[in-house]
A and B are shown apart, each in its own frame.
Chain A
Amino acid sequence: MKKKMMILGCMILMLFSAPIAWTEEGVTDTEIHIGQWGPQTGPAAAWGSVARGTGDYFKWINATGGIHGRKIVYHMFDDGYNPAKTKAGVKELQEGTGIFAWASGVGTSPGLAVKDYLMERKVPWVGPAAGSLHWVSPPEKHLFAVYPLYYNEARALVRYAVEDMGKKRVAVAYLNDEYGKNGLRGAIEELEAHGMEVVAQVPVEQTDSDVKPHVMQLRKSDADMVLLWTTVSHAVRIVGTAKAMNFTPQFMSTSTCSDFPLMNHISKGLWEGVICATFGELPDSDHPGMQQYKKEVFDQFASKDERWGMFYAAGIIFIEPMIEALKNAGPDLTREKFVTEMEKLTGFKGVGPEVNFKPFDPNDMYSRQGTRQTFLVQCLADGKAEKLTDWITLD
């Protein structure tokens, strides 16, 4: 009996003398656990550098003191752009390790696979690396979008083509999924606002490797501007095949095809003259923020095979507001405080577009769509970019 009492006493003593552990999931006295998925293999692996950019950005933050004494522990996994793998990986990390918040994450379909799961558990998710309307229509309290909407990018491009370049016949080649249809919708609505119509809508399937029938349809439409809302490979093939067919409209494309050094290289120079929307300062720009990231993040922490390109920089651009809110939340970090600080971000300007959030309003998508800005760039002969506009703000 005496022995049992002693054991019980020891257990009670241990319970009360243990250091007080932080009660918020994914946060300890010394660590903040943040997760991200990203395709390191598979058909979308070229966009895998987004997650690696975020990882190196976190390493830099940790090296410069962390956030209120806590280090960020980054959990990145390869989902191969496969929504089933995304869901399995997110659940495993969320329920096994315990993630405080999720950062970025490439792709509309992978993101859609986990959106409901994260929102039901009230886990914050900041900066999905896709400009889909699905993130904010309807808005969710714990989901903060930083990427300009594809819909708005398409509107900005069409507006520029019609108003500044005097284009009269606009055709759209789009990937036959949500990503492509978001761009198509933006183009249709902007043309309607100008009393015009799309002269050809040409869907491209992910598996198509021969785009000659598509280009024939575009040529038949006699378009003087063709908007490309496809994968990088399809966009290059369409531009090249059009050149081979002596069909030379002005090509415009989405931010996902705005990595000009890459596009110019794989198109063997044919990307020259193409106009793209973009979501952040260009990697080779003289913007002081970009230069600092190049010097202090990329040069210090990137692996030797990594390239200082648009997608790598995107991994930083989409996460800057998250880091700002984590800092502003103070040392007593909770999800509730973090969400409140995200909502307080107004006029936040890093190397991406201006970010403005508001207190949650289920009827206002801009309470969770942080930006309405994009700017347009044109590819030059050497893969460098010429800025055609300053940041454009869309209503």
Chain B
Amino acid sequence: MVDFIQMVVSGVAVGSSYALMGLAMVIIYKTSEVPNFAQGEMALVTSFVTMMLLTTFGYPVWLAFCLAFVFAAALGAFLEFAVLRRAKNPNILGTIVITIGLEMVLLGLVSWKFGAEQKTMPFPIGPYDSFIIGDIFIAKLEALTLVSALVLMALLFFFFRYSRLGLAMKATQQNPTAAKIVGIRTNRIMMMTWGISSVVGATAGLLISPVIMHPFMMWDPMLKGFAAAVMGGMTSLPGAVVAAYMLGIIENLFGGYVSIEFKSVVAFAIIVLVLCFKPSGLFARHYVKKV
């Protein structure tokens, strides 16, 4: 029983970073229907810049993190403005290819500037400091990631539902032309969306960085976050978060009780099953466009 509880707790803990990446992907998809495969590398760039602020320039953690969020927002907005917006009437396939291209460029930039050797980021909480309750352990850093994911999910949920900007973002996704007619500056909305999404993704990157940093550190969280977003329905923020936690728990239970060798691929098997039986995802209320 202790093992089972530990696996569930570990699943929730690891699911938190998937949840943050899933949230970041959903934010962009909700507004522009672009599955952003550069999400992980956007977080990667921010994480390495933050490490540079901490180690090279000696900034205190609070200041470096504040600057990191500003940088992340600017990076997201810049990529939308400089790259995505320049594409002429791209279809979904085109935008996927563009974001994959961006991913490669950002990955190359990080490898070139910071090298490939593993590093860690200084952080007030050690990556392996933990709470032990009975026989169950929870890493403090993962507990912080869990709280961050839940807080961000709640903030974003209320933002999209009740704020004018959030409603404008939803309107832009549902009908850009109508949104423009009622005075919404859709281009600006898109830029803001990318900025917000980049900040959410960067939160995941910054909370992974105290463990280990290398140019490929965001691949696994990004892929699992994408899997969670698909499971949750791609447009549902709570859906992505719940699916991410489900994914983390299923992975851990599968690794513990079935096969540790296939633990990592179970996420993708779940995507296939979800797409077969409920293509709109587990939690999405699908908006149907008139043609």
Contact = CB atoms under 8 A, between A and B. Distances in A.
Contact of B116 (A46, A213, A241, A243): A46
A237 B212 contact: yes
Contacts of A43: 214, 216
Interface in B128-160: 128-130, 132, 137, 139
A305 interface: yes
Tell me which of B115, B219, B260, B263 has the highest count of chain A C-beta atoms within 10 A of its own C-beta.
Answer: B260
Interface in A249-273: 262, 265-266, 268, 270
20 contacts: A39-B116, A45-B116, A45-B117, A202-B260, A208-B263, A210-B252, A213-B255, A216-B3, A216-B10, A217-B260, A232-B118, A233-B214, A236-B212, A237-B211, A241-B128, A241-B139, A245-B130, A265-B120, A266-B118, A266-B212
Given A244-B128, A244-B139, A265-B120, A213 B256 contact: yes
B215 interface: yes
B18 to A, nearest CB: 10
Given A48-B116, A208-B263, A266-B212, 13 more contacts: A41-B111, A42-B116, A203-B260, A207-B219, A207-B220, A213-B255, A213-B256, A216-B3, A216-B10, A241-B128, A244-B128, A245-B130, A246-B132
Contacts of B6: 216
B126 interface: yes
Interface in A17-65: 39-43, 45-46, 48
Interface in B244-290: 248, 251-252, 255-256, 260-261, 263-264
Instruction: Please name the 7 residue pairs, one residue from A and one from B, whose CB atoms are nearest each other, closest first.
Output: A45-B116, A213-B255, A240-B128, A244-B130, A209-B220, A212-B10, A210-B14
A123 to B, nearest CB: 29
B284 to A, nearest CB: 27
Contacts of A46: 116-118, 214
A214 interface: yes
A382 interface: no
Interface of A: 39-43, 45-46, 48, 176, 202-203, 205, 207-210, 212-214, 216-217, 220, 232-233, 236-237, 240-241, 243-246, 262, 265-266, 268, 270, 305, 307
B195 interface: no
A243 B137 CA distance: 11
B127 A268 contact: yes
Contact of B263 (A48, A205, A241): A205
A210 B221 CA distance: 10
A362 to B, nearest CB: 35
B58 to A, nearest CB: 17
